[in-house]
Structure formats: structure tokens, C-alpha cells
Amino acid sequence: MNFGKTAIYAALALFLFYAVLILSLLSFFEGKNFLTVLLAPDVLFSIQVSVLAATVAMFLAIAIGLPAAYALSRLNFPGKKVVDTFLELPMIMSPIALGAALLIFFNTRVGSTIQEKGILFVFEFPGIVLAQFATIAGLATRLMKTALDEISPRYEAVARSLGSSAWDAFWKITFPLSLRGLLSAMILCWAKAVGEFGATVTLAGTMAFKTETMPTAIFMALASADIPKTITLILILAGIGLTALYAVRLVEKRPPGR
């Protein structure tokens, strides 16, 4: 068979695989129930919690990940390779294991002190944020590093020779030039945080009107055989994810200065 055609068929097969999964949901979908389920207070609450926690986790991941990404992309320092390798840990580690590690940490002396004298994380809203942050921080740093790698360090070198400080050169040159890549990283990490389940359920549990996020609500609805609620929540989650991915495509489309 023609090589090109084989490749295209493979791509189409993958598309069909996911499309069939979504369409199969529709076979149990009842339109009249959709709005009722969507507007139910517990569902609205879980959407609100998910979006809010993911937004906070994403901003935290960006705030720490951006300077870290810059260091990994531009600077040389001892242990750089070790740090770089550790960033991939959340990607290869099961989210439940990550959540369990966090839970165990809060049972250590340091963790207990943080809980007692600082913020309560276990089975609380900050726990959701922390679980999502742990899952996406490495990814955010890696994606932002890739965005920064694409910008030649010579722009900054020229800017500095023209009189800009290192901060100035970053904010006036590298940041705007890598903005599209950084925005893509933000959106992807946010979407991943919204869909995070394993670490969240392990650290924050799934208490209605307290720590129930959309993915944990799906799990609970499925466990109690509430199929309309399960499908509605899955469709909302898929809708959020696909919208985020489409936003990434839009952001990446236009090169800078055009």
C-alpha cells in the first residue's frame, strides 16, 4: 500500500477511535435532562471548583515554571540535568502515586507543621490546587522551556548590548517573542489541571460541595450508576478540553510581528 495513504489512514483511524467514544456517549444522552443535570447545584459547584482550582494551579505553575524554564533554557548551573530529569517525573508517575506522596508528606513532621500552622491541604480546597499544581508544574516548565528555546538568545544579547538590563531584555524581547508559546503552555496546563483526577482524589478526597471536582464527580456518578450525570459531566469536560485545544491552535497560528 502507498506509504502516504497508510499514514493518512492511521491518522483517520485515531480520529474515528476518539469520535466513536464521544458519539457512544450520545446514545445514552437525553437532551431534556442535560440542562437539569448541568444546573444542579452539586454539578455547578464541581465545575466552579475545578475551574477555580485549575486557574490558581496554572498561575502558580507559570509563576514558578517561567523562571525555571528560563534557567533551563538559557543558563548553565550545577545539577541542571538532574533538575531537567525531575521535571518529567509527574509525566511518568501515576497521578495517584503523586497524590499519595503528597498525602504521606503531610503526615511527616514538616507536613503536619504546615497543616497546623499554615494552610490546610488534606481534604481541603488548597489540596486540590496543590495536587493539580504537582501534576502540571513539570509539564508547564517543559512547555515553556520549549517556547523559550525557539527564541534565539542572540536577541537578548543584542538588547543587552544596546543598554537593556537582563530583566528588561527578557520582558521587552524574549517574553513578547515567546508569548504565543507561553500562552499555549498556560492553556494546555490549565486544561490538564481541570481534568486531573488521581492526585486530587487522593489528597483532597471527593466531598460534595467541598472538594468535588468535575473528574471526581464523574467517578462518583459512575460509581452510583447515575449515567445521565456521568455523560453530562464527561461532555462538559470534553467541551472544555476541546475548546482549550482549539484556543492553543488559534494562539499558535500567527507568528509574531505579523
Partner 1 sequence: MITLQNLYLRVGTFRIDNLNLDLQEKQIHVLLGPTGSGKTLVLESIIGLRRFQGGRILIGGKEVQKLPPEKREISYVPQDLALFPHLTVRENLLYGLRAQNKARNGTDSHLNRLIDTLRIGHLLARYPHGLSGGEKQRVALGRALAPAPKLLLLDEPLAALDPALKSEIQQLLLSLHRSLQFTALHVTHDLDEAYLLGDAVTVLIEGKVEQEGRKEEVFLRPHTVPVAQFLGLRNLVPGRVLKIDERERRISVSFWGGEITIPADHAARNLIYGEEVILYLRPEEVLILREGKPIKESLRQNILTGEVVRILDRGTQHWVFFRPLGVDSQLEIHLPNYVFRNLALQEGQKIQVAMRKESFWVIPVLIPKPPAQGNF
Q: Interface residues with partner 1 (CB under 8 A)?
A: 152, 154-155, 157-166, 168, 173, 176-177, 255-258
Closer to partner 1 by Cβ: residue 74 or 210: 74
User: Please, what is the minimum distance in Å from the beta carbon of residue 211 to partner 1?
Assistant: 43
Residues 6+ apart with CB under 8 A from 17: none
User: Please, what is the minimum distance in Å from the beta carbon of residue 253 to partner 1?
Assistant: 15
User: Please, what is the minimum distance in Å from the beta carbon of residue 1 to partner 1?
Assistant: 41
Per-residue cell: 121: 491541604
Closer to partner 1 by Cβ: residue 86 or 171: 171
User: Please, what is the minimum distance in Å from the beta carbon of residue 160 to partner 1?
Assistant: 4
Closer to partner 1 by Cβ: residue 109 or 253: 253
Alpha carbon distances (Å) from 200 to 11, 19, 60, 88, 204: 33, 28, 16, 19, 5
Closer to partner 1 by Cβ: residue 146 or 164: 164
**Identity of the residue numbered 31:** G
Q: Are the C-beta atoms of residues 133 and 102 closer than 8 Å to each other?
A: no
User: Please, what is the minimum distance in Å from the beta carbon of residue 207 to partner 1?
Assistant: 47
Closer to partner 1 by Cβ: residue 79 or 163: 163
Q: Give CA–CA dist 142/136, Å, rounded.
A: 10
Residues 6+ apart with CB under 8 A from 229: 37, 40, 43, 217, 221
